[in-house]
Structure 1
């Protein structure tokens, strides 16, 4: 029988203690739905006694219908010298309306005497009486043994007395916390094993990532008996963060054989990670394990060749199993396998073109040497392939353009672009103003093409980046321009390189338009300029 590991998510509380992480009540409620859908057992909403926002969350979440998860509150043991029933924080936990609570107490004697400035015996009473009070009021109680591993290493007898006091008072689970995040996996294993031997209630683990070992330490704890795991989505948390449940879950379920969430929900992990990043207004790290954009990205030609034959040669799990996908990158490191794979994605069988694939590779290496970076601009790469195969249509050709920048005596700059194009046998000559030279050029190009290709109104530039490639040349440096475009449904990236920033921008700009036309060629049949010729390679 597969053993069950229960998941306790603290993204909404411990996660928001991370620098730059802030969630509104509405944000928290959105994340609650996603965590419940994937099968998280406990969702910690916050500390009712700490701020009005958390109290509002607990009021709002009462009206949320959940299919699986329990909403839990977080709090501390009673204050020294105050009866549990009179402690304001414990009373607010009761008023929050939750079914379960995680309360933390000190288990490191150093913290008891120096941080709380009370006696060791009083601290044991604080733990015992707080747990008992909450149990008497019908709550499921998870005792978070704060600083347990540091406390155990300093004074094992007292650390054990603290968690045994919680157990004797009726705690349903004892969670051992590596609060400073400095323990090593072998230390975690040995200590958890000893605790599991001594306690009769389930043991949990709560790790911080200060030594970049939170996930490893969590797995080590489960391996030696912990069956309750606390962590956050994407590893958010104070200082260096908490154990990342997005990594913990597949490691436990796919590699160690435990059941964490329903098997059919594993494919939602990538979308969950992205969703929480989006709600928290964080940029997803491309190299995030399991779910990052680069987690299954292959660049070296030898790697790609092997992956095409047997994916497991360079992939530790099938990317589809957690909702991610394999990507093959194009760069100066590319071999023939990279080009063949990318072409196959676009339904081109380059094998039938013989030496063309090698010619394309040579062209890529030449362009990359000039400063192009095709792994960041796959739309430009696809255009390059189509042109090399003689299949890229000549939607328009440039005669010339001019860009004028004028500054009057005031602080205002005005920018105008004049452009002359050939569309089939017609000449189009127009001008447009813009907010800077690239914007003006974009407006002029659109104005010139709208009569022939009305669909261009649907696309727009969504991002524009410039990088100087050789700073030593100062203002004469070569620059790389990356443009991201969108039609509201899809996004694509194009690239241009030149010592002239306007020229580099133009190359990226026309690639963006050509790519959009190429991808919607069926719609072009209704356009006045459909009689197109092929671009010469």
Structure 2
């Protein structure tokens, strides 16, 4: 019999406690819609009464008609009080959601030190608060905070906390490894004991302080937990929460549990990357399953093998979770890398082609100079197309100049570029808030009359790395530029001892790549081009 596992996503609540993550109400609504499309079962939106953003979220999320259960978060009632008079609990009841999670203490040390109350009063706080939710017709989830630390310190009291929540009617009792310091074997043993003591459904909520949040979540499920709480990309306080992007495919593809529909699982990579964009947090390229390099192959022996059968170096088919195989080309590349990469572009290339050997030598020489093509696929494609099919250049660079002037307390950068577009000379100048921005503006200004579609893309990221620190200000640098269009992104690279020249090289490649892939890239008629050239001059 296939066992169903419930996914509880707390990206919008616990995830926002991560350093550098701040989501507006609009951001949270967009993410909620994306999570719902992924198929998670619960979406924890935050505390309805804690701040204006969460209040707005709970007011507006009702209009989205989501299938997932939108869940409010709060704490058990204050000590020596009653639930009906607790402001936080009242706001949860008035928020209109059908489910709520209440966190309560299960470690006696916390009861005495943090709450500064008695063990008996803490039990009353838990019972009264859960019972309050049930009287208001809500599904009640109890997060037993610091449960595993509490159990190891005083197992009888930790279990008494769970029983009290169960007696009050809790639908889910969630065991929390709040400090993230418990080992997988301990998790399995303790969850097994809890399952033998309780009849309520058990959930698991782990943190990643020992890099074990995913492993601990899987151990808990194998011991009988039926709900997993976590966040997309593992966002969260300190070292983060359990990463649902790893947990979900591990449960479904490796362990055989029923988590999401197959079509929903295929949206996992897109969901992870979408949320990273909204949160403005760069995704690690090597992130398991959904990272850009999760199925990337660089070594020539590896590539030769996967071209015969991808199972040789891939533990799953990347398409199952919406990712894709990538072949990297670098100084480690063999002929298989080049052939595979060229075939992706529709080029007729084989390993016995003399040009293939020449381009491998060329790539190795460029990487020796400091280029890095594994992170600049667009520059690599331009290099291969130049070698194998002689693609016509959309424009030629004649020259460029940079002027930097400081006046009236501010710096002004001006770029002057001279191009040749389909036989027409174009001479253009533009200002920017820095040299690279000025160059981008000037190049865009020169090309826009000929190729209006370039207005559809923009520079998304700019990175500079010093390659030889001993060279001080004369050191060689590598510049990586990431550009984004309506439907895709691409990266280009430039290397020079002059950061402006390296930036210009990467920038020009970005425009060339964009024009190469734009549908129906047509130059405006010659008579208009001539008038444009005259105006620009």
| TM-based fold match above 0.5 | yes
What pairs up with 1:429-440 in 2 under 5 angstroms?
Answer: 430=427, 432-435=429-432
Distance 1:380 1:410, change over 3 A: same
Deviation for aligned residue 1:251: 0.7
1:502, 1:101 → 2: CA distance?
55
Deviation of 1:411 (Å):
5.2
Question: Distance in 1 between the 2:133 and 2:440 partners?
Answer: 65
Residue 29 of structure 1 is matched in structure 2 by 29
Question: Is the CA contact (8 Å cut-off) linking 2:289 and 2:321 kept in structure 1?
Answer: yes
Structure 1 contact 380–511 (Cα < 8 Å) conserved: yes
Return 10-19 or 430-439, whichever deviates more. Answer: 430-439
User: For residue 373 of structure 1, what is the aligned residue in structure 2?
Assistant: 372
| Distance in 1 (alpha carbons) for counterparts of 2:411 and 2:47 | 53
Deviates more, 1:222-231 or 1:385-394: 385-394
CA distance in 1, matches of 2:316, 2:425: 54
Separation of aligned partners in 2, 1:358 and 1:35: 47
1:392 aligns to what?
391
Range that drifts further, 80-89 or 323-332? 80-89
- How far off its partner does 1:323 sit? 0.6
Instruction: Answer yes or no: is the 8 Å Cα contact 1:430–1:447 preserved in 2.
Output: no
- Per the alignment, residue 134 of structure 1 pairs with 133
Residue of structure 1 in register with 2:19 after alignment: 19
Distance 1:501 1:432 in 2: 20
- C-alpha separation in 1, matches of 2:142 and 2:51: 22
Q: Is 2:69 the counterpart of 1:70?
A: yes
- Distance in 1 (CA, whole Å) between partners of 2:517 and 2:443 is 19
- The residue number in structure 1 matching 2:294 is 295
Distance 2:400 2:34 in 1: 52
Deviation of 1:104 after TM superposition, in Å, equals 1.8
Question: Given the alignment, which residue of 489, 511, 523 partners 2:521?
Answer: 523
TM-superposed deviation, 1:481:
3.0
Residue 291 of structure 2 aligns to a residue in which SS?
coil
2:335 and 2:351 in contact (8 A); partners too: no
Task: Please report the RMSD computed on the Cα atoms of aligned residues, expressed in angstroms.
Answer: 2.8
Distance 1:165 1:278 in 2: 42
Q: Does 1:315 align with 2:314?
A: yes
Q: Is 2:332 the partner of 1:333? A: yes
Higher deviation after alignment, 457-466 or 253-262: 457-466
Q: Does 1:121 align with 2:120?
A: yes
C-alpha distance in structure 2 between counterparts of 1:61 and 1:418, whole Å: 50
Residue 402 of structure 1: how far off its partner (Å): 5.8
**Per-residue CA shift, 1:316-350, capped at 9, x if unaligned?**
21110001111111111111111111101101121
Cα separation, 1, equivalents of 2:335 and 2:65: 53
Q: Is the 8 A contact 2:451 2:522 kept in 1?
A: no
391 and 206 in structure 1: CA distance in 2 versus 1, 3 angstrom threshold: same
Q: Give the corresponding residue for 1:534.
A: none
- Rounded Cα–Cα distance in structure 2 between residues aligned with 1:520 and 1:12: 37
Aligned 8 A contact 2:430 2:445 in 1: no
Whether 2:25 is the aligned partner of 1:38: answer: no
Matched residue SS, 2:63: coil
Match of 1:533 in 2: none
User: Which one is further off, 306-315 or 358-367?
Assistant: 306-315
Report if the CA contact (8 A) 1:371-1:469 is conserved.
yes
In 2, the alpha carbon distance for the partners of 1:506 and 1:185 equals 51
Match of 1:231 in 2: 230
Deviations 1:399-426 (A, max 9, x none): x5363637587656676666666667x5
Rg bigger for which structure?
1
Q: Which residue of 2 aligns with 1:500?
A: 498
**CA spacing shift, 1:343–1:150, aligned 2, 3 Å:** same
Q: Displacement, 1:228? A: 1.4
1:476 deviation in Å?
2.5
Query: Are 1:360 and 2:359 an aligned pair?
Result: yes
Q: Is the 1:12–1:45 Cα contact (8 Å) retained in structure 2? A: yes
| Structure 1 segments unaligned to the other structure (5+ residues) | 530-537
Task: Check the 8 A contact 1:25/1:53 in 2, yes or no.
Answer: yes
Q: TM-score, normalised by structure 2?
A: 0.89
Conserved? CA contact 2:327–2:337, under 8 Å = yes
CA contact (8 A) 2:454 2:515 kept: no
Query: Structure 2 CA distance, aligned partners of 1:375 and 1:172?
Result: 49
Q: Is residue 211 of structure 1 aligned with residue 214 of structure 2?
A: no
Secondary structure in 2 matching 1:152: helix
The residue that corresponds to 2:534 in the other structure is: none
- Paired residue secondary structure (1:75): strand
Q: Secondary structure at the match of 1:183?
A: coil
Q: Deviations over 1:216-236 (max 9, x none)?
A: 100000001011111112211
CA distance, structure 2, for counterparts of residue 448 and residue 140 of structure 1: 61
Using a 3 Å threshold, how does the CA distance of structure 1 residues 353 and 386 change in structure 2: closer, same or farther?
A: farther
- CA deviation string 1:440-490 (max 9, x = no partner): 666666676678x44586476615443322121223222223344456555
CA drift of 1:293 comes to: 0.9
Q: Which residue of 2 aligns with 1:53?
A: 53
Matched, 1:242 2:241: yes
Aligned-partner Cα distance in 1 for 2:141–2:207: 18
Pair 1:96–1:354, CA change in 2 (3 A): same
**2:336 touches 2:351 (CA, 8 Å); kept in 1?**
no
Q: Deviations over 1:259-282 (max 9, x none)?
A: 112222100111111222222222
Deviation at 1:300, TM superposition (A): 1.5
Q: How big is each residue's C-alpha offset from its partner over 1:293-314, in whole Å with a ceiling of 9 and x where there is no partner?
A: 1111111112211221121222
